[in-house]
Structure formats: structure tokens, C-alpha cells
Structure 1
Amino acid sequence: MRTKSPWRSLDDLEMATVEYIDWYNNRRLHGELRHIPPAEQEALHAMTRPITAILETG
């Protein structure tokens, strides 16, 4: 993640915000999640849940 400031334009601020959100959601190490990134925890959780399907009858 870049730490460049002050931002020179609204585009610079927008890019910094997008980079921060990406880091926060995908790469930061979360202490409550055994120090793994939230995206990795979500993937592990999805793999351990049973697959259910809704059957439509017609």
C-alpha cells in the first residue's frame, strides 16, 4: 500500500481509498481470525460449509 500524501487531486484520493479498502478486506492480518487475512478466512469458511441446493419442482 502506498503512503503518498498530500493528494494532488481527487483521483489520487480515490486511488488511495481503493488501495486501503483492498488492503483492509484482503491482506491485513486480523487478530480475531488467527492472524490470517479476512478474505482467506472467508474462503476457508466457505470450504467447510455443506453445499445446499434449492430444488424447484414444477
Structure 2
Amino acid sequence: MPSLDDLKKRIKSVKSTQKITKAMKMVAAAKLRRAQESAEKGRPFSEKMNNIILNLSN
């Protein structure tokens, strides 16, 4: 059976891991939001190019 000190170290380790995980999730969410905004900005250009290609093929 683990000692009290071992359990305290384990609890501290888990809490530390939780903090790191939370920070990583926040960074990932920010990157995803930035990527989505960038993709959305490119949508009009993409639609215009598709229309041009369709018109050329007719």
C-alpha cells in the first residue's frame, strides 16, 4: 500500500497534468479558431475560381 507521501505526490502530479492538459486544449482551440477564420476568408476566392472554371468549361 502506498504511503501518505506517495499519495500526495501522485495527487500533485495529477493536478499538474490537468493544468497542462487544460492549457493545451486552450491553445488547440485558439489555433482551430484561427484556421477556421482563415478558411472562411478564402471562401469567396474559391467560389469565384469555381465559377470561372465552370464558365470556361461551357
Same fold (TM over 0.5): no
Query: Where on the TM-score scale, by shorter chain, does this alignment land: which range?
Result: 0.3 to 0.5
TM-score (norm 2): 0.37
Higher relative CO (Cα under 8 Å, sequence separation at least 6) belongs to 1
* Structure whose alpha-carbon radius of gyration is higher: 2
Q: Which has the higher helix share?
A: 2
